[in-house]
Structure 1
């Protein structure tokens, strides 16, 4: 499974990615740690990432969640991670998206391009009706990414996740399938 964009592609992680994934995670530990829960020490080891990759593969096989590496199309360098998780079928047909871009690659539009690719996958391949995302109110770059991809602010979740020993609140964003295609048709006609 490969989702290709203009500058990047998304693909599931393979066992051979454990070392490069570990380097990405270690390099961004402090940067990503500002918005993520604390991970156990074993997370920052080769074996920890190999175990993570097996977990990611199992999730994809079962259709429960999809974790992709974000890779540069020309160099094949791993530049981030994007997840579509908490997928519900039946009357819900929804999922949640989360992403993390290497600090050295921030501000280059890679998160926006990744998000567009995974939304296309969610709506066109998985036939979801809705995708949501949560973001800290002070995380303005991530808010801009969501808004550029067509997400709309829907609400506020007070003290919903423990990060660095503090309960953090999040803004709730969402996008519906019916708003996805028209949003990009309008944007394309303006370009």
Structure 2
């Protein structure tokens, strides 16, 4: 298994990941228009994400299983802000096939290490819906601290959903 940046060359892989996991992820994702997860649509988005990586605005990672030729999980750092804030948001998803094996945690540890060591960020924030017990447990194991509840925070699967706000602060920043 390998962890690496997501690239434009991965358009077919990421399209397959979302199409295979559509039902599994539906409860936690915004509604998407038809064709959103097509290879062509992903090629365009991945091209933009590669530019954002170079510009330091986002970083998108995949945990790839070369033996099976599929994506195990994804994890992204988005909304990277510099200056006095030095923080970002972290989002993630794991394939239903690989759920419950500790692989998502391994990917998140790698991504958080990148955020703190390579990007020199002070804060990584991750939010989850109160009903998402797996995300709550994952973030707890990673050391994220609950900071509050945002009511009607994101429109997920057609409904405005509350989210628990959490963060992890870089232990090496002063």
User: Which category of TM-score, normalised to the shorter sequence, fits these structures?
Assistant: over 0.9
Q: 2:48 aligns with which of 48, 55, 67?
A: 55
Q: 1:9 aligns with which of 2, 11, 34?
A: 2
Report what 2:162 is aligned to. 169
Q: How far has the Cα of 1:44 moved from its partner?
A: 2.2
Q: How far has the Cα of 1:75 moved from its partner?
A: 5.5
Give CA-to-partner distance per residue, 1:38-58, whole Å, 9 cap, x none: 122121211011112112211
| Structure 1 gap ranges (5+) | 1-7, 181-191
Pair 1:151 & 2:144 matched: yes
Q: 1:79 aligns with which of 56, 68, 72?
A: 72
Give CA-to-partner distance per residue, 1:17-60, whole Å, 9 cap, x none: 21121111101112112111112212121101111211221110
Query: How far apart, CA to CA, are the structure 2 residues paired with 1:177 and 1:14?
Result: 27
SS at 1:178 equivalent: coil
Query: How far apart, CA to CA, are the structure 1 residues paired with 2:82 and 2:147?
Result: 21
Contact 1:14–1:53, Cα closer than 8 Å, also in 2: yes
Contact 2:52–2:59, Cα closer than 8 Å, also in 1: yes
Pair 1:134 & 2:134 matched: no
Report what 2:97 is aligned to. 104
Query: How far apart, CA to CA, are the structure 2 residues paired with 1:73 and 1:26?
Result: 19
- Alignment RMSD, CA only? 1.7
Report what 2:31 is aligned to. 38
Q: How far has the Cα of 1:69 moved from its partner?
A: 1.4
Query: How far apart, CA to CA, are the structure 1 residues paired with 2:14 and 2:117?
Result: 28
Contact 1:93–1:129, Cα closer than 8 Å, also in 2: yes
| Structure 2 gap ranges (5+) | none
How many residue pairs end up in the alignment? 173
Give CA-to-partner distance per residue, 1:51-91, whole Å, 9 cap, x none: 12112211101110011111137666321211001111000
TM-score scaled by structure 2? Answer: 0.93
SS at 2:165 equivalent: strand
Q: 2:88 aligns with which of 75, 86, 95?
A: 95
